[in-house]
Every structure is written in structure tokens, then in C-alpha cells.
Structure 1
Amino acid sequence: MSSTGKTGRLTTHVLDTMAGRPAAGMLIELYRLEGGEREALASVRTNQDGRCDGPLLAGEDLRPGIYELVFHVGGYLREQGVALPEPAFFDVVPIRFGLSAADQHYHVPLLVSPYGYATYRGS
């Protein structure tokens, strides 16, 4: 716990840049990578605001290490009625990142379209 009494957390947010709105209903999976193993931690769908209803990790569950968020972009776009080639150019988008401190807020947003995506460490 930090000196301010806050515990760390991991959150995400997905925006559909093609449609100009939050990506509601997108499937996201979270994994922890350690010692060559990939441990599944969570599987969620985004809400109407393109966010998860709560942190993906928080408190004691958030530990320093390597993590991966897997965004099921192709499935989301197909559900929106977007005609994609088979296979889709971006069907599944994995974002691998490191968490160095358990008392920080890590936010991993994704801006997505059928042919491009961007991410960054948000706040």
C-alpha cells in the first residue's frame, strides 16, 4: 500500500475510432506471464462506455510482473456489422506490458479500427 493509503489497480478502455464511439461488448482477456507460463486471470466484456465495470486487477491481486491483455477486435467488429475479410487484418490484438509497482494505477486504453490500433499508458 502506498503512503496515501491507495492500492494499485489495472483498468482499460476501448474506443472504436471507425464508428467514433466506445467499443461496447468487446471481449477482453487478461493473462499473467511468469516463468514461460501464461495464467488466465480474467475474461470480461466492455460496458456501454467501452470500459470494464471494475478494475481488472486491484489490491493484492495486482503484483509487479508481465501481463497481457487480449482484445477480441474482429469479433466485436463483426457484431457491429462491419464486413471484414477472412482472415481479418486485426482479429485479436494482444498488448503485453509490465507492471513495476503494486501501488500505482495502470490504465491501458485501446483505440481500434479494422486496419489500425493504438495504445498507451493512460491515467
Structure 2
Amino acid sequence: MTGRLPQRDPRARTRLTNGKTLFLGEVDGRTEIGRRYGDLIADLMAERGGQAAMELHQIEAIRTYAGLAIQRDLLHSRIAAGERVDTEELGQIGDRMDRQARRMGPPLAPERKSLREHVAGRGGRP
């Protein structure tokens, strides 16, 4: 035995693993919260070069971060509605989001055009 795991046919993997769905099980991702969760995951992955450029632990950190962000958003909605919230819970969510952000790794720097490319994009006008 070589210590390597056998390659699995993508059809034998879950839709979540293959990136075909955001949720495990029967979850309607069309709800406001489901859409927000998907938006967060897509944006965070895009900032880091997309799923193909990321390691599994980064992807899992992004999923965790997105879930925490939704919990924070719901608490902020309650604050805005004039309700009392547990500030300790809000602080803990913030701390956990910070930890997951470090695990995700920093966003990639945007590609910068050279001066020549910039001028060419403006039709040669200075």
C-alpha cells in the first residue's frame, strides 16, 4: 500500500464536495439567507483566486466565516429594529470571524495594468 487514497469518480462524491450546491441535504438556497450565504462564499472565493486555487482548509474556513457573518447580520438586524441583543454573543461571533479570516488567507492583490496597457485601454488618449 502506498499510503495514497484512491481517486474517486466525481459521480460518487457529494454535490457539496463537487461544488454543485452550497448545502448538504435538502435546503432551498433561494431564501434570503441562502442567497446571502452563497453571495458571501462566491465573493470570498473570488477574492482568493477561485475554488481551484484554494486548499480545502481555506474553503472550509470560508464556509464557516459565511455562516458566522449571517449570524452577525441577523443580530445587527435585531439591533436596527430596536431589540436588545446579547453583546457577548456579538463579540464572540466577531472574534470567531477574525479567526476564520486568518485561516482563509488574505485576498489576492488585484492585477494592476502597466502604464502602457492603461493608455492603450483609453484609445491612446492621455
TM-score normalised by the chain length of structure 2: 0.28
The structure, 1 or 2, with the larger RCO (C-alpha pairs under 8 Å, 6+ apart) is: 1
Structure ID, larger Rg: 2
TM-score normalised by the chain length of structure 1: 0.28
